[in-house]
Structure 1
Amino acid sequence: MLNRIEGIVIRAMDYGEGHKIITLYTKEAGRVTVMARGAKKLKSRFSAIAQLFTYGEFVFFKTGAMGTLNHGEIIRSHHLLREDLLKAAYASYIAEMIDRMTEHEAGSSALFEQLEAAFEAIEDGKDPQIVAHVMEMKILEFSGYGPEFEACVSCGRETGLSVLSFQLGGVLCSPCQTKDPSARHIEEGTWKLLRLFRRMDLRRLGKISVKNETKKQIKPILRGLMDTHIGIQWKARNFLDQMEKYEI
């Protein structure tokens, strides 16, 4: 069966001497796996469109679990993401989240649009850490673990919110702090930013400047929520940690 679909390459793996197996994320069909024959060869007509992060239109034959690429047209190459180590690392983390948290034949136009917008934002020079944090929030929402920031997760009170519980998945008011002794205090500015991330549309992301001190607070918060409720060892995130450790 011949299929024509727009997708973004979120994983690319060498196969044999000259081929690649690519995983696409699409609006209609979620994750799609396609064999791009000869794509490793420089003169191949598939070498460019099979590159990681490429947004294109893909035409492929599918008779089983994996399709075979027949034709492809690049819509946006996102080549700047591949040419900068830091941008590539953050884009890889975002791509890995999409790859590991979505399913075959279960597309989401909203998530697809946020993925493409995230790549565009990083490529355009927006702070990649902030873009990645917004995508972490999107993934938490998509997976059903979106944190509660507006009311106490224990009693529903909307005032006196002072700490965040990773285990309970949201904020606690002062009287309910004892429900989670490990809950952590969050500065007011950080609260505001986390609430903003919750409703932010990356397609409309303007110039955003976040102080390094605030970013240092946000990172362990999003990581704590991701690790508590999703619990995946992210390969790309580990690489980002190594980059930070050695100041690459």
Structure 2
Amino acid sequence: MTISGEVSVEGIVLKNKAYKENDMLVWIYTKDYGKIALIARGAKKLKSKNAPACQTITLGDYTFIPRIGLSTLIKASSCDYFRHIKEDIELESYASYFIEFIYKFTKDNDPDELSYKNLFLVLKYLDAGYDPKLVYLLFNAYIMEITGSALEVEQCTVCGRHDHIAGISIHGGGFVCQECIGIYDLKLEVDVLKGFRYINLCKLENIDRLHLDEAVIIKLIEIMEAYIDEFTGMTFQSRKFIRQFNGL
């Protein structure tokens, strides 16, 4: 980061931790500058005006002095605490998963407008009362896409045919037809196959167009988690809580 002087940006707090006696390290994700590490001096003090905006799962405005490595926070004000998320341990577990992915996957000072937009959307959806399992499915489809592992949902991954799709291959990365389905592939009902296609084609902003039965959603969660494990190589602390809530 080579900007001189103070900079003011909107950002979402991904992580914080104590630093020295009264200070705090804060990582925020911004549309314009990507992930930024800030040192918030005095943020641990009870009377600190910056402390509320330095809490995780918070949208705020942040003014800081850019530096190589740690930048210095000057002032911070909260725009949205996502109060309903923080009042519900299940919603908070989903939000923590979304934030954990962005924190682990993104690089410092490497902006990605789509990642910022989608992180903001999923937090707003959770806070507004959307089905967290459906939000989770769409975000996992986005993870597959952004990590370069978008799934094939238009044709058989083996022979390329568009009809007689019978299941999916975890290793193959998508649909398989009835002629190519193997012993390790998943043979699925039509409604699950349709749901699998929908969630991998639907953008997060179009969530209102998706209407899936609860049983289909639960099955798709299990499938998408298998793909995340197979293709991304990433592990998530927060996911164990999500699995407990969904009985997986």
TM-score (norm. length: structure 1): 0.90
Pair 1:232-2:243 in alignment: no
SS at match of 1:205: helix
Shift of 1:233: 2.0
Larger deviation: 122-131 or 28-37?
28-37
Shift of 1:225: 0.4
Inter-partner Cα distance in structure 1 for 2:244 and 2:197: 29
Q: Tell me: CA distance 1:207–1:81, structure 2 relative to 1, closer, same or farther (3 Å).
A: farther
Pair 1:167-2:171 in alignment: yes
Which runs of 5 or more structure 2 residues have no equivalent in the other structure?
none
Inter-partner Cα distance in structure 2 for 1:18 and 1:241: 36
Q: Equivalent residue for 1:221? A: 223
Pair 1:137-2:134 in alignment: no
Q: Tell me: CA distance 1:208–1:150, structure 2 relative to 1, closer, same or farther (3 Å).
A: closer
Q: 1:85 aligns with which of 57, 67, 89?
A: 89
Q: 2:203 aligns with which of 201, 204, 229?
A: 201
Opposite residue 235 of structure 1, the aligned amino acid is Q
Inter-partner Cα distance in structure 2 for 1:120 and 1:97: 17
Q: Tell me: CA distance 1:242–1:177, structure 2 relative to 1, closer, same or farther (3 Å).
A: closer
Deviations 1:4-55 (A, max 9, x none): 2221111122223332212111222221111122222332111111011111
Partners of 1:24 and 1:31 within 8 A in 2: yes
Partners of 1:96 and 1:234 within 8 A in 2: yes
Deviations 1:100-141 (A, max 9, x none): 122223222122111111101101111111111111111110
Partners of 1:126 and 1:207 within 8 A in 2: no
Partners of 1:114 and 1:201 within 8 A in 2: no
Partners of 1:101 and 1:139 within 8 A in 2: no
Pair 1:177-2:174 in alignment: no
Q: Equivalent residue for 2:122? A: 118
Q: Equivalent residue for 1:74? A: 78
Which runs of 5 or more structure 1 residues have no equivalent in the other structure?
none
Q: Equivalent residue for 1:152? A: 156
Inter-partner Cα distance in structure 2 for 1:245 and 1:20: 36
- State the identity as a percent: 26
Shift of 1:207: 8.1
Partners of 2:167 and 2:186 within 8 A in 1: yes
SS at match of 2:103: helix
Partners of 1:58 and 1:72 within 8 A in 2: yes
RMSD: 2.0
Shift of 1:195: 2.1
Inter-partner Cα distance in structure 2 for 1:205 and 1:67: 36
Pair 1:19-2:19 in alignment: no
TM-score (norm. length: structure 2): 0.90
Inter-partner Cα distance in structure 2 for 1:35 and 1:203: 33
SS at match of 1:241: helix
Opposite residue 9 of structure 1, the aligned amino acid is V
Q: Tell me: CA distance 1:41–1:208, structure 2 relative to 1, closer, same or farther (3 Å).
A: farther
Opposite residue 196 of structure 1, the aligned amino acid is Y
Shift of 1:171: 0.9
SS at match of 1:49: helix
Deviations 1:193-226 (A, max 9, x none): 2222223333343386543321221111001100
Inter-partner Cα distance in structure 2 for 1:78 and 1:193: 29
Partners of 1:10 and 1:25 within 8 A in 2: yes
